[in-house]
Structure 1
Amino acid sequence: MSDAAVCAGAEEVLERYAATVFAAAYAMVKNKEDAEDIAQEVFISYVKAKPAFESAEHEKAWLLRVTINRCKSFFRSAWQRKTTGLEDDFPDTPFTPDETAVVEAVNRLPKKYRQVIYLYYIEGYATGEIAAILEMPQNTVLSQLARARKLLKTALKGEFDDV
């Protein structure tokens, strides 16, 4: 495959999955700039690896797996361990007050719960697919989803009693 064809294919992949990769990274690192950096690294990895995929779903799963791995590396880095970031919100995100409460509650979850919540509810993956992406047993995914739901229920208790 020529370099021009690789670049054209990479541009198409970037257009198709940029928002998904960024959202996954942001869900993990909770900082817009760090999420942008991670997304950029993911697409650079894509161009360097020139992977072949069985389907669009396989390609998306690969990109999410690389995104999650980059986020894990981000948290292991010496820089991240020795610095404290500023709180970062999406000021332009048009959430209703109820949605904002849910987003904030999800963002307060430990990262292992945020990632399964994101993959299950936002990306629409089944628990078996999440297990494959995160390279963990399906029962672990099920346990983490149950614990995350319980934590969210506790965090949101009383906020929607009038609904």
Structure 2
Amino acid sequence: MQRSVPQLGDHVMKVYETYADTLFRIAMVHLGRREDAEEATQDTFIKLMEKAPTFNDAEHQKAWLIRVITNHCKSLLGRGWRKREVKLEGADSHTTDDPEDQALIELVLSLPVKYRSVVHLYYYEDYPIREIGEILQISESAVKMRLKRGRQLLKLELEGEEPQ
């Protein structure tokens, strides 16, 4: 029995090293605050240790972790003590040296959560539409519509910033 505990710990540490940054970025996209994103990431790994699910492969494991953190972020956003408006403080994990890239990242972070999530997973995490639908537990057509509307909102913002 004592042997399985270190193995579980080693396994979780390896999973943590592999996916912590990705999960943190996803939580930042949802929550907008470093402290909340760190807590959500930690809670996700706690759930992994508690549930100890078996996975078919690494992609299945990654999808499970993303689904868990996404659902956890949604529940945090739904709590009464938290404002629905997500502040961008602590967005330094999304910084870049290119001012144009930084402006685009800030625009993406300013999107409503349902559009921000799909835009982030599609463009920054390179997930195909089908997998985004599975992760967020929505249909492929809903993913496509959210991507389309998210792009439209970004386009409106970008056009509004251009000198006329």
TM-score (norm 2): 0.90
Distance apart, 1:131 and its partner CA: 0.7
Distance apart, 1:147 and its partner CA: 0.5
Aligned residues: 160
1:47 maps to a residue whose letter is: M
1:79 maps to a residue whose letter is: W
> Which 5+ residue runs of structure 1 have no aligned equivalent?
none
**123-132 or 151-160: which moved more?**
151-160
2:106 maps to a residue whose letter is: E
Corresponding residue of 2:80 = 78
Identity of counterpart residues, as a percentage? 38
Give runs of aligned pairs for residues 17-56 of structure 1, distance below 5 A.
17-56=19-58
Deviations along 1:40-96, one digit per CA (max 9) or x if unpaired, are 000100111111111111111011000100001101112214x98764044473331
Q: Distance in 1 between matches of 2:57 and 2:67?
A: 15
Distance apart, 1:107 and its partner CA: 1.1
Distance apart, 1:16 and its partner CA: 0.4
- 1:101–1:156 Cα contact (<8 Å) kept: no
Label 1:53 to 1:85 Cα distance change in 2 as closer, same or farther (>3 A): closer
TM-score (norm 1): 0.90
Give runs of aligned pairs for residues 34-113 of structure 1, distance below 5 A.
34-81=36-83, 87-91=88-92, 93-113=95-115
Residue aligned with 1:47, SS: helix
Q: Distance in 2 between matches of 1:85 and 1:145?
A: 20
Where does structure 1 differ by over 4 angstroms across 4 or more consecutive aligned residues?
83-87, 158-161
> Which 5+ residue runs of structure 2 have no aligned equivalent?
none
Q: CA RMSD in A?
A: 2.1
Residue aligned with 1:79, SS: coil
Deviations along 1:108-152, one digit per CA (max 9) or x if unpaired, are 100000000111111111111111111111101000000001111
Q: Distance in 2 between matches of 1:112 and 1:48?
A: 28
